[in-house]
């Protein structure tokens, strides 16, 4: 949340966060919808969030585009890792 405040107050409107994967299932869901709200309200333009996932999360909002990074190349997220 501190990074989000800095992104908004600085005018950069870019949020970069790591370790999304350490949240529990409810925390991940809450986080995704918090990010969606920030984007919908125009607080941020972009967010880069890193985390290790075993499978594509179900029911992502349209504002979120998951990418799979493997061997230093980014692509569409696989159904299962």
Q: pLDDT (tens digit, 9 = 90+) per residue, 60-79?
A: 888 888 887 777 666 665 55
In the predicted model, what is the mean pLDDT of residues 28-55?
A: 89
pTM exceeding 0.85: no
Model pLDDT, residue 81:
45
In three-state form (DSSP H/G/I as H, E/B as E, the rest C), the secondary structure along the chain is CHHHHHHHHHCCCEEEECCHHHCCHHHHHHHHHHHHHHHHCCCCCEEEECCCCCECCCCCCCCCCCEEEECCEEEECCCEC
What is the pLDDT confidence band of residue 30, given thresholds at 50, 70 and 90?
Answer: very high
Rounded mean pLDDT of the chain? 84
């Amino acid at each position: 949340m501190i990074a989000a405040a800095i992104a908004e107050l600085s005018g950069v409107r870019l949020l970069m966060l790591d370790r999304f994967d350490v949240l529990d299932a409810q925390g991940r869901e809450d986080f995704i919808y918090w990010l969606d709200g920030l984007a919908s309200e125009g607080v941020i333009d972009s967010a880069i969030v890193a985390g290790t996932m075993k499978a594509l999360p179900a029911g992502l909002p349209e504002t979120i585009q998951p990418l799979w990074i493997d061997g230093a190349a980014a692509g569409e997220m696989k159904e299962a890792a």
